[in-house]
Amino acid sequence: MSASSSQIAALAGDGIGPEVMREAVNVLRAVEQRFSLALTITEAPVGWAGIDSTGHALSPEVMNLCKKSDAILFGSVGLPDRDGTVPKEQRPERAALLRLRQEFDLYANLRPVRLYPQLAHACPLKAERIADGVDMLVVRELTGGLYFGQPKETTQLADGQRRAVDSMVYTTSEIERIARVAFHEARARRRHVTSVDKANVLESSVLWREVVTQVARDFPDVTLEHMLADNTAMQMLLRPSRFDVLLCENTFGDLLSDEAAALAGSLGMLPSASLGVGGKAGRSFGLYEPAGGTAPDIAGKGIANPIAQILSAALLLRHSLGFADAADAVERAVADAIAAGCRTGDIRAASDAPALSTSEMGQAIVTHLLHS
Ligand code: IPM
Ligand code: MG
């Protein structure tokens, strides 16, 4: 291990996680070769895989590995079939994923959503609605709102009922920092931010709208619009091309990013970066994961689409390691493989060649990366 080698913790997790992670690691190995970089990639078990091998969804050893690393490449965790077997606090979604988001204060979740022109058939919208393309960036606040707000509890009432509460809590500084990320990202795109809220109903949204409006004054070159969350869900289906950057609190961002993923043809295409403060030389420490989840129904069959995991590795190269050229090259290799007709089952049209397996798709992307 050379002193300058970048350290990556590769946590594949459950379901399709290990299958797609294998391809992303192969792509990173090809990046090392093409760009003469040294990456130290250390694999470790999380999620149910962690519970099975260490007794913890995220063991202290794995947490230490993450702390020593420059970035985490995460697969996915959670197997609903096993949920009843451990207390809810120990389930992988909370004990591994949310814990990492909280421990590293990964407040800024970036989910770029892009419909490749060759995959228009996989988008559920009519051709005329996507004639102007789909290219948006969901900027989701990731460490506040309903996911972490207190009180968060289930209590027993005197009349025998139970009462459960989650709290949508936001402070001005939490809103301000995520708004800055959104405006900053918009500058590298089409300079338009849609801030999503329910200011007609929610206190936290009234504050959200006020603070975002204030932050916008520092970015006079970026246009800001406010849109209610329910209307946003509808407008995304009617005219997705109107959106550039979507700035959302945690829960709205969770919902709208899955909707956006459908527009991109498949959840298997959607990468994400979860960024915090800190990291080397002004870069962000980050956790990079596909937005799609463990997909237990297709796990172990070798048919999952590895592109979301591979594009997540590209985001890691760009945001946490500062290797923008390598990130661009990986993204280009994915686009080239798609343009060359490579399709896993989820993005394949009836008229296309037979579907590729997970590893065939990974290999095709590696080949484009090394030889174009
Ligand atoms: C996501 C996922 C997670 C979330 C789950 C697995 C906890 O849906 O990253 O979008 O709700 O944030
Ligand atoms: Mg989600």
Residue range 45-99, pLDDT digits in tens: 999 999 999 999 999 999 999 999 999 999 999 999 999 999 999 999 999 999 9
> Residue 362 has what pLDDT?
98
Which CATH architecture fits 1-123+265-372?
A: 3-Layer(aba) Sandwich (3.40)
Ligand 2 being an ion, which residues bring their Cβ within 5 A of it? 254
Q: Across the strands, what pairs with 221?
A: none
CB of residue 346 inside a 6 A radius of ligand 1: no
Q: Which atom of ligand 1 is nearest to the CA of 76?
A: 6
Q: What is the mean pLDDT of residues 99-103?
A: 96
What pTM was computed for the model?
A: 0.95
Q: Each residue of 265-299: pLDDT tens digit?
A: 999 999 999 999 876 666 789 999 998 899 999 99
| Catalytic one of 52, 218, 230, 328 | 230
Q: Where are the domains of the chain?
A: 1-123+265-372, 125-263
Q: Which of 183-197, 218-232, 267-281 has the lowest mean pLDDT?
A: 267-281
The reply to whether 125-263 shares the fold of 1-123+265-372 is yes
Q: If we measure between CA atoms, which residue out of 114, 276, 279 comes closest to residue 189?
A: 114
| Catalytic one of 197, 198, 244, 346 | 198
Q: What is the DSSP letter of 283?
A: P
Average pLDDT score, the chain:
96
Does domain 125-263 sit in CATH 3.40.718.10?
A: yes
Q: What is the mean pLDDT of residues 131-155?
A: 97
- Report which bound ligand comes closest to the CA of 294: 1
Half-sphere exposure of 307 (CA within 13 A, CB side): 31
> Residue 281 has what pLDDT?
63
User: Using CA positions, which residue lies closest to atom 5 of ligand 1?
Assistant: 93
Percent of the chain with pLDDT over 70: 98
CB of residue 93 inside a 6 A radius of ligand 1: yes
Burial readout 117-149 (b: 16 or more C-beta within 10 A, e: otherwise): ebbbebbebeeebbeeebbbbbbbbbbbbbbbb
